[in-house]
Amino acid sequence: MSGTALRDLNTLPGSERKSESSSKGSFARPCTGSIDENADKSQRKISFSLVSAPVNGEEAVNAGAEAGNAEVEYIESENLTDVEDVDTAVKTLVDGLGSKDWVVVCESLNNTRRLSKFHKETVLDMLVDVIPLIVKSLKNPRSAVCKTAILTSSDIFNAYNDYIIDSLDPLLVQLLLKASQDKRFVCEAADKALVVMTTQVSPTLLLPKLQPYLKNRNPRIRAKASICFSRSVSQLGLEGIKSYGIDKLIQDAASQLSDQLPESREAARTLLLELQTVYEKSTDLTPIVSEHPELSSWEHFCQSKLSPLSAQAVLRVTNVAREGIVLGS
């Protein structure tokens, strides 16, 4: 992993909140009733969208601070329409994504989404240049740019699946960071993008990418990575889990059972129950020829693959879950 990625991962959410709040101050604009005639067309459009209804007292400050981001149009993937001029959109895409004008950047991000949806092959060869610029927008302290970049990431996953695996690391770092911060609407968008990633990228390729983040020093990063890891394993299916290696997966899941945050622990429990089900189905399909069939039990498997303390913790989780199912039946 690059030094830049490590520095990004070690950035605490508090510092991002500071950047967000400071950027919002310059983002909001008061209702002036007029507009600069020298401004370009796109800027005039955004300026009008920032005008909000007058309110009194402290509400006016809060509404003013949120006005800009609240009025930016965030288009859901299913509502995207095709670009009017494909050639022009393609030719100006990279320059637009690298622009210093945040309005142009947002427009270019949305064009990236449209092109990925309606002209997938056209953008495929450009991904090596496009993805680093999407990552740059994900780091942008302006919430409008950041959220639009998150939406763009989702559409990239939907369109290109495994084609982006070699460029995934910087996207993954930023999405885990954004999903771990306190700004709710950015966090929710990043969570959705991570869901798309785990369903669209092959788990055999994605799991090795996620694994290092299970041990990240930021507990919120670990929690998000654990959830993604568990969800991605589910995509493997019974045969896929057997091929990937239950022994490797149980060690990863066991390491999260004692994690600081409940989200990590819950993701680990979910994964362990799935691994237990797969293991027991596998042994049911294999005739036991040994005089000691207990050696093929889930308990023996855990004890043979884990340290005594880890095995005890895993068996406690899976046995409690099994007892609950028996009592409920």
The full DSSP string for 219-246 is HHHHHHHHHHHHHHHHHHHHHHHHHH-H
pTM of the model: 0.76
Least confident of 16-30, 126-140, 174-188, 204-218: 16-30
pLDDT the model gives residue 60: 38
Cα distances (angstroms) measured from residue 307 to each of 215, 250, 266, 303, 314: 18, 12, 21, 7, 10
Q: Any idea what the Cα angle at residue 61 is, between residues 55 and 66, rounded to 5°?
A: 95
- Report the C-alpha gap between 144 and 142 in whole angstroms: 6
Section 270-299 average pLDDT? 76
Q: 25: how many CB neighbours lie within 10 A of its CB?
A: 9
pLDDT the model gives residue 282: 86
What length is written for the chain?
329
Section 33-39 average pLDDT? 39
- Report the C-alpha gap between 226 and 263 in whole angstroms: 8
Could you tell me what percent of the chain has a pLDDT over 90? 68
Section 22-28 average pLDDT? 38
The SS3 assignment for 318 reads: helix
pLDDT the model gives residue 291: 53
Kindly tell me if the per-residue pLDDT of 41 is higher than 80.
no
Kindly tell me if the per-residue pLDDT of 64 is higher than 90.
no
CB of 99 within 8 A of CB of 133?
no
Least confident of 30-44, 126-140, 240-254: 30-44
pLDDT the model gives residue 84: 95
**Higher pLDDT residue, 106 or 63?**
106
Domains of the chain with CATH codes: 1-201 (1.25.10), 219-329 (no CATH)
Section 65-78 average pLDDT? 67
- pLDDT one-digit tens code per residue, 228-249: 999 999 999 999 999 999 999 9
